[in-house]
Amino acid sequence: MIRLIALKELRSLFAAPSTWLMLGALQFIFAWLFLVRLDAFLQVQAQLAQVANAPGATQAVAAPLFNVLALILMMLTPIFTMRLLAEERRNQTLALLLTAPISATHIVLGKFFGLLLFLALIIVSCTAMLLTLAAGTQLDLGLVLGNALGLLLLAAAYVALGLYISALTVQPMVAAVGALAALSGLWLVEISAAGSENNWQMIAPTSHFHNFNVGLLNSVDATYFLLFSIAFLLLTIRRVNNNRIYG
């Protein structure tokens, strides 16, 4: 049942022309940034060669681009999560799911994995673009894959939060703005707490992605992402169940 709903979400995403437009624009922007970054690296490469322990192409080109992709995901995810439940409630199609012999858990997980699969496609396509670096240099594959994994976990956290906010409202637009505000709020917490003594930045998903970004696989970060996602998924399931009680 989870798979059925996930595939339906995925199919309705790909049925909309706006999705393709967004995917195309994203690939274009990412390719452009890749080119700029690569160009800058090639210009300083000669000087870097004289430095001991200089950063390689993976570290100097790929890692910063993954960081950019993390920021892009932060702005992109709310646009996709806004529809998930808010639109079902507005179009009164949620009744179909609520009266079907499936539980709220199936509905929520189906929608979560449907969108996560879609974001995974974006992450995979951008990673594939960076892997073309292998044509000219030796890549640190571990760093690239670590980054991709980190991005996937980050996307899961963003989708879970966006899904919850989408469950709170009937207006998809409100859900989009709400999710964007929540995600950028968390990001701002990280930025403003960075460098100071306190540990506030630990609540921001972006700060946990940072370790993946520099090639550090820490179980604390992975656990954080899992807990973050599970917490918001549980809240969403609760909210969908409450839909039956409060109408």
Partner 1 sequence: MSAATPLTLSARNLIRRSGRRELVHGISLELRHGEVLGLLGHNGAGKSTTLQMIAGALTPHSGQIEICGFDLVRQPDQAKACIGFLPENPPLYRDMRVNDYLVFVARLRRVAPGRIADMLAQAMQRCGLQEVGPKIIGTLSKGYQQRVGIAQAIIHAPDIVILDEPTVGLDPAQIRDIRALIRELGDAHSVILSTHLLDEVESVCDRVEIMQDGRLIYSGSSDDMQQYGDGKMKLEEVYIRITENHVSEEQPQ
Number of continuous H segments (helices) and E segments (strands) in the chain: 10, 0
Site string for partner 1, 7-26 (x = CB under 8 A): -x--xx--xx----------
Work out which of 18, 99, 196, 219 binds partner 1, going by CB under 8 A. 99
Touching partner 1, residues 79-98 (CB under 8 A): 91-98
As a whole number of angstroms, the distance between CA 247 and CA 245 comes to 6
CB 206 within 8 A of CB 187: yes
CB 106 within 8 A of CB 30: no
Task: Name the residue among 85, 160, 88, 89 with its Cα closest to residue 119.
Answer: 160
CB 94 within 8 A of CB 85: yes
Per CB under 8 A, 108 contacts partner 1 = no
* Least distance in angstroms from the C-beta of 101 to partner 1: 4
Which listed range, 50-58, 100-108, 139-147, 219-227, lies at the site for partner 1 (CB under 8 A)? 100-108
Q: Kindly list the residues in this chain that would bind partner 1 in the complex (CB under 8 A).
A: 1, 4-5, 8, 11-12, 15-16, 91-103, 244-245, 247
